[in-house]
Structure 1
């Protein structure tokens, strides 16, 4: 997802790149296996509720969109089978162990401004916890020109608020109503701009530019030239055009017992059948139904299918007939989200801190998750790793952290390579320039007996847990309406 390589690579370059990719994939599967050992597998209630016979609907994908759609359809009286390729539910959420703590390696934070996930939290009476470094940092530091800058917290926030207000100016013309699924005419005109393009237009002073750049690289989870300006305008509008509300919505409140607690409650409530470790290789439509073939060669027949898989992975499945070109093109290009999230255990006094760095650096936003006089845990987000930086190696991460906190040492790290996970091929969805205007209609379109859901194609909080639930609810309504027609 980085800058294109101009010119033909040499044989040595090809060999080295192949070896690096192979090593990265081996490391991914090693880390994934170790992390999954501590994950929760909410199978009991769903297995007990398994229905015999041909299902009315097969849901492919067990993230929040797929589980929401399955629950709603089961409540509507449909026989539902959910297939998940991984050995756990949750999709790009992943609640697991990090030493004596539980951590979220994927989607984490929720907020009452996100109506769909908040309704689920209230429905199941789930408790919240807070992340101190994003909620109330005692220190804010950022890197500019290779040097760490620090001013009083209120002053740094004023700089950041001013930069964000200028960056997002005119958002009300593009997103007067942020839950409309498609871009306005004003939005289409701006959709070719990257975040980096917009930042250049502002001509900010270097200190303020790099402060803003760290936040923007984190938001799109890539270098700012890869993320679309319209995506940031949409986030801004959803957060009432207020930076502190945006911080609250994106990185303040999380589920006290983890995202798996919500998934478990939804599955138990739904009463539909779940099958884990069941990857789909082919989906073939006929006049009277759909035939699904799994990677093990099993055939499953159903009346309708809800595809609730990330947009980046669609081309890994053989669809007959072929899907709309917009879906295929999006899967070829991928969205921008391709960076890393890492938990960093440190030894030494750690307060509530927030640190930012532009996308020329391997980590762009780091803040305190747990603090203490003898050590604590940081959460870090970074763009696709630069050569020589290994997010899985404490010795590689420590020099960067010590630029900000020279008196701490890094003792342990835990990350997950979502871009190497074949069932995600990326992190949260942030569109690249022109993808929103070019592909959204095709991405959301029903195709015969196939319906499509997912956080990646949500109208509102796209890329968030809320967006996944929103999409699952909407698609379930559409499928239920067709089932009532007895098609």
Structure 2
């Protein structure tokens, strides 16, 4: 089934039924050893034995959404002594992270990399003693990274210091003001005056103001697209500057934080530890229809008509879909408006298995943003095959299920490349995400920030899309869920 779909020449145009069929099949394949196995059974059994501390309700806390924000909020609420229920629309937990199998390797179809400059997720690594590995995996026999840059139809190879130095220097120049704008990148309120001075500028506008060589421009603009996972013309300059400031304001730190270290056993390994630790109840395949705050309790109604009552509800749903739930009192109109406008992240992450070894060291290939494969980098290197990870801004640029189409594009960098397999998850067609990671657009800090993550009565918002610091990352989601659980505890006592 999977090979047939991946090799199909049908355009990448999924409707809701197509998506649910595909996503359900792939999630089920992973779940046998993951969050639908023993971990979820134990969690449900442990949580069901507890009685609600609040009189007259089924649960003290109901959490909407089973991504890292929701799972963190549910774990912490349960450990705070509250009878807790998590409701997730999919048949798996993890949200926009997704541990899958590809070519004999665990791969991540969504969020992947972590780093010790990301305090919330690194604390979880230490708490549960999880093993971390580096990418690329496999047999890297030479140090360093080779850049292959597609400029004016020709591919240039950069592997010498005198070639790489000017390219990396362009990044230092582009982000020269980032540390001043984000002096405290975990405190947006403190930084807001400087942020507002620059927030109307797009990431692409800032690059186009620079005097760059053609090679510098291709590399910089490709990475800006990669950071925002959407058109750089739609991403705010202050957003990509936030990425630079968070790990310490230098290129190596940014590259290590965003692409070097990951969980040995996949992001699912942390999800499973959180469920086992929290022992909360959960219901998978349970999308929520409405949330009704009645003053002294909240009624949550699912699409299938099930009704649950709680003393508080924590919302961990992505910003692009939260407005699809009916809230009473109604959601803030600006929150609805932003969700319908959607954040920048709308791209594709594609795993590509190529016959043979492409290089002895890590290779990153970069092309114009209009190229079907604008950023391709080594993920696994073995003697007889290589797995590459590709990030692109438009999931419909080509048919990414078509190996021949992917191979033709990859040969712009590697003329002899033979593509054997491809694998991805269509996040923008997923009705429960409607996009990838969150980056704000120009003008959003002034227009929308005062309205995001504002609790209303017994409904508390802990969305990873609006957390402080590494917002849009696993770290930001954990921090947002943790903060929501703290505020619920302060309310319920």
TM-score in terms of structure 2 length: 0.91
In structure 2, which of residues 199, 205, 219 is the aligned counterpart of residue 197 of structure 1? Answer: 205
CA displacement, residues 280-324 of structure 1 (integer Å, 9 cap, x when unaligned): 011111121111110101111111100000000011111111111
Question: Residues 23 and 108 from structure 1, CA distance in 2 versus in 1: closer, same or farther, beyond 3 angstroms?
Answer: closer
Question: Residues 133 and 213 from structure 1, CA distance in 2 versus in 1: closer, same or farther, beyond 3 angstroms?
Answer: farther
How many residue pairs get aligned? The number is: 465
Between the aligned partners of 2:386 and 2:78, the Cα distance in structure 1 is 44
Residue in structure 2 matched with residue 458 of structure 1 by the alignment? 467
Residue in structure 2 matched with residue 8 of structure 1 by the alignment? none
Tell me, yes or no, if structure 1 residue 34 matches structure 2 residue 22. Answer: no
Tell me, yes or no, if structure 1 residue 364 matches structure 2 residue 349. Answer: no
CA displacement, residues 418-442 of structure 1 (integer Å, 9 cap, x when unaligned): 0110110000111111123321221
Unmatched 5+ stretches in structure 1: 1-18
Alpha-carbon deviation of 1:274? 1.1
Question: Residues 26 and 282 from structure 1, CA distance in 2 versus in 1: closer, same or farther, beyond 3 angstroms?
Answer: closer
Question: Residues 208 and 76 from structure 1, CA distance in 2 versus in 1: closer, same or farther, beyond 3 angstroms?
Answer: same
Matches within 5 A, 1:420-459: 420-459=429-468
Alpha-carbon deviation of 1:379? 0.7
Residue in structure 2 matched with residue 392 of structure 1 by the alignment? 401
Residue in structure 2 matched with residue 107 of structure 1 by the alignment? 111
CA displacement, residues 172-204 of structure 1 (integer Å, 9 cap, x when unaligned): 331111101345212112111111110111131
Residue in structure 1 matched with residue 47 of structure 2 by the alignment? 50
In structure 2, which of residues 282, 299, 310 is the aligned counterpart of residue 274 of structure 1? Answer: 282
Between the aligned partners of 2:135 and 2:162, the Cα distance in structure 1 is 22
Between the aligned partners of 2:185 and 2:464, the Cα distance in structure 1 is 15
Alpha-carbon deviation of 1:115? 0.5
Between the aligned partners of 2:446 and 2:352, the Cα distance in structure 1 is 38
Between the aligned partners of 1:20 and 1:167, the Cα distance in structure 2 is 37
CA displacement, residues 362-393 of structure 1 (integer Å, 9 cap, x when unaligned): 22211111112321211111111354x11122
Residue in structure 1 matched with residue 226 of structure 2 by the alignment? 218
Q: Contact 2:12–2:400 (CA<8 Å) still a contact in 1?
A: no
Report SS of the residue matched to 1:66. helix
Q: How much is the aligned-residue C-alpha RMSD, in angstroms?
A: 1.9
Q: Contact 1:132–1:369 (CA<8 Å) still a contact in 2?
A: yes
Report SS of the residue matched to 2:349. strand
Matches within 5 A, 1:37-116: 37-39=28-30, 40=34, 41=36, 42-51=39-48, 54-116=58-120
Question: Residues 275 and 233 from structure 1, CA distance in 2 versus in 1: closer, same or farther, beyond 3 angstroms?
Answer: same
Q: Contact 1:71–1:271 (CA<8 Å) still a contact in 2?
A: yes
Question: Residues 422 and 348 from structure 1, CA distance in 2 versus in 1: closer, same or farther, beyond 3 angstroms?
Answer: same
In structure 1, which of residues 252, 255, 258 is the aligned counterpart of residue 266 of structure 2? Answer: 258
Alpha-carbon deviation of 1:332? 1.0
Q: Contact 2:16–2:431 (CA<8 Å) still a contact in 1?
A: no
Residue in structure 2 matched with residue 294 of structure 1 by the alignment? 302
Q: Contact 1:144–1:211 (CA<8 Å) still a contact in 2?
A: no
Alpha-carbon deviation of 1:241? 0.8
Alpha-carbon deviation of 1:133? 8.1
Q: Contact 2:12–2:401 (CA<8 Å) still a contact in 1?
A: no
Residue in structure 2 matched with residue 381 of structure 1 by the alignment? 391
Report SS of the residue matched to 2:74. helix
In structure 1, which of residues 294, 313, 334 is the aligned counterpart of residue 342 of structure 2? Answer: 334
Q: Contact 1:341–1:415 (CA<8 Å) still a contact in 2?
A: yes
Tell me, yes or no, if structure 1 residue 239 matches structure 2 residue 247. Answer: yes
Residue in structure 1 matched with residue 4 of structure 2 by the alignment? none
Tell me, yes or no, if structure 1 residue 410 matches structure 2 residue 410. Answer: no
Between the aligned partners of 1:360 and 1:427, the Cα distance in structure 2 is 19
Alpha-carbon deviation of 1:349? 2.5
Residue in structure 1 matched with residue 7 of structure 2 by the alignment? none
Question: Residues 25 and 296 from structure 1, CA distance in 2 versus in 1: closer, same or farther, beyond 3 angstroms?
Answer: closer
Between the aligned partners of 1:133 and 1:254, the Cα distance in structure 2 is 10
Alpha-carbon deviation of 1:158? 1.9
Q: Contact 2:380–2:386 (CA<8 Å) still a contact in 1?
A: yes
Question: Residues 439 and 272 from structure 1, CA distance in 2 versus in 1: closer, same or farther, beyond 3 angstroms?
Answer: same
Alpha-carbon deviation of 1:43? 0.8
Alpha-carbon deviation of 1:156? 4.6
Q: Contact 1:362–1:386 (CA<8 Å) still a contact in 2?
A: no
Q: Contact 2:11–2:399 (CA<8 Å) still a contact in 1?
A: no
Alpha-carbon deviation of 1:160? 3.2
Alpha-carbon deviation of 1:403? 1.2
Tell me, yes or no, if structure 1 residue 128 matches structure 2 residue 132. Answer: yes
Alpha-carbon deviation of 1:22? 5.4
TM-score in terms of structure 1 length: 0.92
Tell me, yes or no, if structure 1 residue 310 matches structure 2 residue 318. Answer: yes
Question: Residues 156 and 255 from structure 1, CA distance in 2 versus in 1: closer, same or farther, beyond 3 angstroms?
Answer: farther
